[in-house]
Amino acid sequence: MDILQVAKRARVSSATVSRVLNGSNLVRPATTERVRRAIAELNYVRNPNARSLRLGRTRLFGLIVSDIKNPFFPELIDAFEGMAAEQGIDVIFTHTNYDTTRLRSCIRRMVERGVEGIAIMTSEMDEEALHQVPVRGIATVLLNQPALRGKYRNVAVEYSEGFLEALKHLQSLGHREIGFIAGPSTFSSALRRRESWETAMKQLRLPIRPGRVVVGDMRVEGGANAMKGILAGGNRPTAVLATNDLMAIGALHAAVSAGIRIPKEMSLCGFDDLPVCGMVVPQLTTIQLPRYEIAAHAFEALLQAVRGEKQTPCAAVYPRLVIRKSTGPVAK
Amino acid sequence: MDILQVAKRARVSSATVSRVLNGSNLVRPATTERVRRAIAELNYVRNPNARSLRLGRTRLFGLIVSDIKNPFFPELIDAFEGMAAEQGIDVIFTHTNYDTTRLRSCIRRMVERGVEGIAIMTSEMDEEALHQVPVRGIATVLLNQPALRGKYRNVAVEYSEGFLEALKHLQSLGHREIGFIAGPSTFSSALRRRESWETAMKQLRLPIRPGRVVVGDMRVEGGANAMKGILAGGNRPTAVLATNDLMAIGALHAAVSAGIRIPKEMSLCGFDDLPVCGMVVPQLTTIQLPRYEIAAHAFEALLQAVRGEKQTPCAAVYPRLVIRKSTGPVAK
DNA sequence: CGATTTTGTGAAACCGCCTATACTGGAAAC
DNA sequence: GTTTCCAGTATAGGCGGTTTCACAAAATCG
């Protein structure tokens, strides 16, 4: 079922069929029509391998995420894939499970598959694994890896902005004693969020007291435990921020179990804005990570690189506060 | 950077390099070693297009889902992609947004890309769109499309089993007056769930009363409205099942807002077992759809087909009840 | 009406890899 | 010492497209 069959049926040469297929304007309308009909009649589909081989372009992007089950990623994938579809680009997709070794093999698979660009939207990173990529002229874009800025395209998340906005919101409600549920410092993103929180606290002259920062495991459980820790300590804060929504939800459970009413007796704010934030009671105030924007920037960067356009400088996205029901005026 | 460069450097012919690459055993070890070194030195990666073109095999599967943002799908994708990676198969991924037109173009893109198998895990379906696939000998597996059984491989979900188990559970708690929040009948999966519920109700001799079945839009909002409808009617049921978890959660919100305590005054049961079920208060009892199993069956079916093995008969998965905190003994 | 330009089409050369077939040199058999 | 055989390697063709270039047919012009 190749181009030659079509050519024969339309009584033209394969070259003409190819021209019709590619919308060349130097084929007579009548001929075009004949070819079109032959294509339809034979139900012909062109072979992308032959095409890519000849053209040296695959129109294929790779997308690597850490963990698709983490609700942060689906929206990102959704947006990325949608934009790709619009451009006639297919996306091959893999996930690493936060495993650097798997990241390596993912990258390798993509390179072997001949992708023209790779978006590595993982929280873990391995500079070694990246080395093989740029050598082959494959465009690469990373998520929030400022350390590698300059070498690779990067979509930066300006966490501080988000925390600043959230803290201002709490401050305006009268809160001054604010706790923080951090993540393990082995997660680069957790670490960065924690630093950004501290920066924002200092900027607003809010006190960071010992025992007010508790570490959780980034999951619901961990958030619950962290909140128990906070409640156990004396001098309870009037508001608590969490590194991510899952921990905020855990904290919510723990607080409710302890008989603390949210937001009446304590305000709570998460980070990420997962869909679940609107489903818990009370609905969770949170700092929204603009996932669509991240995907859009990443895709745009790859597209520019592939097209050989000049690269716009490193993109940044700004988290935004989403006020729901879990924050309120400080109890008198 | 082709095989010839490598051949030149290793002072052999391209044929020998190819043999080394493909693990042929008729190359002398010393030669193999020379070629290996040349490959490493040149950092050579073979061109998958040329390879696929020659071999007629792409080692590429397509995966189509309705909506990756629906938490039902990520786990499925995760499992599918994981199994594919183990087999050295890449996965190209698209989503339809429940749009039949998009399904068509998705399938088309996959066919053009030359996938060897397509898993169409969507809730919408269009038999027309499928026609082009088997013609090209591309393996296809559908999710829960009994109408097309026989023509295509199919992973069937035996909804009735799940409903039966849930209803027995409720029955054992003393419930007899059980309501149902259905989905729009335009969704084939919603329709099938509703029918299965009715079947199970009849089987257990439970009464299906008018006004007890309310339709929602499959989202949280719709569930809340449906519950309001149920509460507005007289003769309130003591337990309510929902077609999916999101609507069950909406129903939960509505019930709580109306001052009804769950599960003390009313039991509630969802369907799907999304991660969010464990995060709401009270945690939601639900019927679990075994997503990993679905993915596994689908992948296995494609793999068998591609390998030309004889097809095992149509696979089926059985939902299972997960009892949490939203169901309890009927109020006296 | 012949010369020149434009326009449409075909032949053939690739793209990088695999592999059937042909060939080589040396070991084994005679 | 020749023949036979075989492991190891090279040559060449083809997978299905695209594209350059050459050429024929039609259109334009003097």
For residue B205, the distance in angstroms to the closest alpha carbon of chain A comes to: 34
The whole-number Å distance from A228's CA to C19's C1' is: 68
- Sheet harboring B117-121: ordered strands across? A315-317, A153-157, A139-143, A117-121, A60-65, A90-95, B90-95, B60-65, B117-121, B139-143, B153-157, B315-317
Q: What are phi and psi of B15, to 5 degrees?
A: -60, -45
The chain B residue lying nearest A67, using CA atoms, is B78
Three-state SS at B269: strand
Q: Does the CB of B287 fall within 7 Å of any strand D atom?
A: no
For residue B151, the distance in angstroms to the closest alpha carbon of chain A comes to: 20
Chain B residues with CB-CB distance to A223 below 8 A: none
Q: Tokens 């084929």 map to which residue?
A: A27
Find all residues with CB under 8 Å of A114, minimum gap 6, and list them. A52, A58, A60, B47, B48, B49
Token pair listed for B221: 């909002």
- At A130, the pLDDT band (50, 70, 90 cuts) reads confident
pLDDT at B226: 96
The whole-number Å distance from A149's CA to C16's C1' is: 35
Q: Are A264 and A280 in contact (CB under 8 A)?
A: no
Token pair listed for B228: 């309001």
Q: CB–CB of B276 and A276 under 8 A? A: yes
pLDDT over 80 (residue A279):
yes
A contact residues 180-209, partner B, Cβ 8 Å cutoff: none
Q: Tokens 């003409």 map to which residue?
A: A16
The whole-number Å distance from A29's CA to C3's C1' is: 28
Beta-sheet pairing, B285-288 with B139-143? unpaired
pLDDT over 90 (residue A2):
no
- At B245, the pLDDT band (50, 70, 90 cuts) reads very high
For residue B177, the distance in angstroms to the closest alpha carbon of chain A comes to: 27
Instruction: Report the pLDDT averaged over residues B195-216.
Output: 94
Residue B160 CA neighbour count, 13 Å, CB half: 10
Angle, helices B245-257/B220-232, rounded to nearest 10 degrees: 50
Q: What are phi and psi of B151, to 5 degrees?
A: -80, -40
Q: Determine the Cα angle at B111 with ends A38 and B100, to 5°.
A: 100
Identify, with chain letter, the residue nearest to nucleotide D14 (CA–C1').
Answer: B54
Identify, with chain letter, the residue nearest to nucleotide C12 (CA–C1').
Answer: A15
User: DSSP letter at B44?
Assistant: -
- At B130, the pLDDT band (50, 70, 90 cuts) reads confident
Question: Which parts of the protein come within 7 Å of strand C, by CB position?
Answer: A 7, 11-16, 19, 25-28, 30-31, 50, 53-54, 56; B 2-4, 14-15, 18-19, 21-22, 46-47, 50-51, 53-55
Q: Which of A58, A78, A256 sits opposite B281 (nearest CB)?
A: A256
Q: Give the alpha-carbon dihedral of A320, A325, A330, A331, to 10 degrees.
A: -170
- Residue B249, Cβ neighbours under 10 Å: how many? 30
Angstrom distance (rounded) from CA B265 to CA B263: 6
Burial of A328 (0-12, 13-18, 19+ CB in 10 A): buried
pLDDT at B233: 81
Q: What is the 3-state secondary structure (H, E, C) of B200-234?
A: HHHHCCCCCCCCCEEECCCCHHHHHHHHHHHHHCC
Q: Is residue A121 within 8 angstroms of chain B, CB to CB?
A: no
* % of residues, chain B, pLDDT over 70: 98
Burial of A299 (0-12, 13-18, 19+ CB in 10 A): buried
Which of the 35-54 residues on chain B come under 7 Å of nucleic strand D at their beta carbon? 50, 53-54
Q: Is residue B81 within 8 angstroms of chain A, CB to CB?
A: yes
- Residue B287, Cβ neighbours under 10 Å: how many? 26
E strand segments, A78-161: 90-95, 117-121, 139-143, 153-157
Name which of B76, B73, B123 is nearest B103 in CA terms. Answer: B123
pLDDT at B128: 82
Angstrom distance (rounded) from CA B170 to CA B269: 9
Name which of A283, A204, A195, A210 is nearest A245 in CA terms. Answer: A283
The chain A residue lying nearest B49, using CA atoms, is A49
Q: Using the Cα atoms of residue B62, residue B64, residue B68 and residue B73 in order, give the sign of their dihedral.
A: negative
Angle, helices A14-21/A3-10, rounded to nearest 10 degrees: 100
pLDDT at A133: 66
Chain A residues with CB-CB distance to B69 below 8 A: 74-75, 78, 275
Which of the 51-80 residues on chain B come under 7 Å of nucleic strand D at their beta carbon? 53-54, 56
- Residue A136, Cβ neighbours under 10 Å: how many? 12
pLDDT over 90 (residue A54):
yes
Chain A residues with CB-CB distance to B49 below 8 A: 48-50, 52-53, 58, 114
pLDDT at A187: 80
Q: What are phi and psi of A123, to 5 degrees?
A: -90, -25
pLDDT at A205: 95
pLDDT over 70 (residue A59):
yes
Mutation target to probe the A interface, by most A beta carbons within 10 A, among B66, B68, B110 is B68
Q: Residue-wise over B28-67: b if at least 16 C-beta within 10 A, else e?
A: eeebbebbeebbeeeebbbbbbbbbbeeeebbbbbbbbbb
Q: CB–CB of A112 and B43 under 8 A? A: no
pLDDT at B126: 83
Q: Is residue A53 within 8 angstroms of chain B, CB to CB?
A: yes
pLDDT over 90 (residue B283):
yes
Q: Is residue B244 within 8 angstroms of chain A, CB to CB?
A: no
Q: How many residues does chain A have?
A: 332
Name which of B222, B143, B126 is nearest B181 in CA terms. Answer: B222
Q: Using the Cα atoms of residue A256, residue B286, residue B231 and residue B236 in order, give the sign of their dihedral.
A: negative
- At B133, the pLDDT band (50, 70, 90 cuts) reads low
Q: Is residue A174 within 8 angstroms of chain B, CB to CB?
A: no
Q: Does the CB of B19 fall within 7 Å of any strand D atom?
A: yes
Token pair listed for B55: 């071999």
Q: Strand C positions with any atom < 7 Å from protein CB? A: 7-12, 14-20
Q: Using the Cα atoms of residue A141, residue A146, residue A150 and residue A151 in order, give the sign of their dihedral.
A: negative
Mean pLDDT of chain B: 91
Instruction: Report the pLDDT averaged over residues B183-198.
Output: 90
* % of residues, chain A, pLDDT over 90: 67
Q: Are A6 and A44 in contact (CB under 8 A)?
A: yes
- Tell me the per-residue pLDDT of A295-324, one tens digit each, with 9 for 90 and over: 999 999 999 988 887 777 778 999 999 999
Mean pLDDT of chain A: 91
Q: Is residue A248 within 8 angstroms of chain B, CB to CB?
A: no
Three-state SS at A190: helix
Chain A residues with CB-CB distance to B46 below 8 A: 112
- Tell me the per-residue pLDDT of B2-57, one tens digit each, with 9 for 90 and over: 899 999 999 999 999 999 999 888 888 888 999 999 999 998 988 989 999 999 88
Name which of A51, A52, A61 is nearest A115 in CA terms. Answer: A61
B303 compared with A132, residue with greater pLDDT: B303
Angstrom distance (rounded) from CA B181 to CA B193: 10
Identify, with chain letter, the residue nearest to nucleotide C7 (CA–C1').
Answer: A26
Question: H/E element holding B153?
Answer: strand B153-157
Burial of A171 (0-12, 13-18, 19+ CB in 10 A): middle
Q: Tokens 């001052």 map to which residue?
A: B259
pLDDT at B135: 59
Q: Is residue A47 within 8 angstroms of chain B, CB to CB?
A: yes
Q: CB–CB of B48 and A112 under 8 A? A: yes
Chain B residues with CB-CB distance to A218 below 8 A: none
pLDDT over 60 (residue A134):
no
> DSSP assignment of B278-321, as one string?
GTSSSPPEEEEP-HHHHHHHHHHHHHHHHHTPPPPP-EEE--EE
Q: Which amino acid is at B14?
A: S
pLDDT at A314: 78
Instruction: Report the pLDDT averaged over residues B192-216.
Output: 94
Three-state SS at A246: helix
Mutation target to probe the A interface, by most A beta carbons within 10 A, among B51, B58, B75, B90 is B90
Q: Are A79 and A91 in contact (CB under 8 A)?
A: no
Q: Determine the Cα angle at A78 with ends A77 and A81, to 5°.
A: 80
- Residue A99, Cβ neighbours under 10 Å: how many? 16
